[in-house]
Amino acid sequence: MEGCGFRRPRPSANHAPCPSSRLLMSEEVWPAGGSVAVVPSGVRSQEAGKPGVQDTLRRSRMSEEQTGQSEGSSQAGGVTVSDIQELIRRKEEIEAQIKANYDVLESQKGVGMSEPLVDCEGYPRSDVDLYQVRTARHNIVCLQNDHKAVMKQVEEALHQLHARDKEKQARDMAEAHKEAMSRNLDQSEGLSPPQAFAKVNSISPGSPASIAGLQVDDEIVEFGSVNTQNFQSLHNIGNVVQHSEGKPLNVTVIRRGEKHQLRLVPTRWAGKGLLGCNIIPLQR
């Protein structure tokens, strides 16, 4: 290996692998002067049988894929608050994993993300667990990328949710405005006098019309069952009168802009007809 610019570490008590690390390595090669390169063939974690950081990362990846699938389905039907809460939970989970890996580095003589893992002679340090340090550094880089991706998803989801809320608010305001306009229109129609279809042209004194309170120039909007919608000619009023002799009729008139309700009883009297008044149609 020396002919290739690499050398195997010299066996000594100072550079022996830490017994607590339980690293089973078939071969290790180190550059003559630079960072450490390790090619493990049988690495086992410190606690065999228990999930290590790699297992946690693998589960995190699977959880992220599931989150991505749920995001796709939620975007198809619109982002919900529960979707954003799930993304925030995922973000907090990644942050907790990043902190746990930084705690591992801190427990190894305060080794950070860039501190060399070889001594001044280029040999691997024996005062730290190299496997734990490299694993923690690798996990931190991966988790930081995951954290960045989740934060982007949270931002996009919030934008979609806010945009949808604005659209819903605009629709609600438009519907409320439309309803208010319709209500105001109904009220204005209710306040405005109904359209008259006939007018009292003359009244004979002592006649049933005079007794009922009809006056000349009263505009008729309702005469028994005849109203503005079904009035066609004076024959309609004549038919109602003929079939209502001796029976009271509700008559609604507009007099000087005010509505008046009268009770007219068609009866035979000394004069001509059953009403004693002359009614003419209005031009519509």
Which helix (H) or strand (E) segment is 251 a member of? strand 249-255
d(CA 60, CA 51): 13
SS3 17: coil
Residue type for 1, please? M
CA 197 to chain centre: 53
What is the average per-residue pLDDT within 140-162?
93
pLDDT category at 192 given cuts 50, 70, 90 is low
CA 104 to chain centre: 42
Structure tokens at 36: 């450490």
Pair 94, 146: CB distance under 8 Å: yes
Q: What is the pLDDT of residue 22?
A: 36
- Helix ranges (H only) for the chain are 53-77, 81-107, 130-191, 208-212, 234-242
Q: What is the DSSP code (8-state) at residue 124?
A: B
CA 47 to chain centre: 47
Q: What is the pLDDT of residue 239?
A: 92
Residue type for 27, please? E
pLDDT tens digit string along 100-128?
Answer: 999 999 999 888 899 999 989 999 999 99
Which helix (H) or strand (E) segment is 279 a member of? strand 277-281
pLDDT tens digit string along 217-232?
Answer: 999 999 999 998 899 9
pLDDT category at 68 given cuts 50, 70, 90 is low
Q: Is the pLDDT of residue 30 over 90?
A: no
Which of 3 and 107 is assigned the larger pLDDT?
107
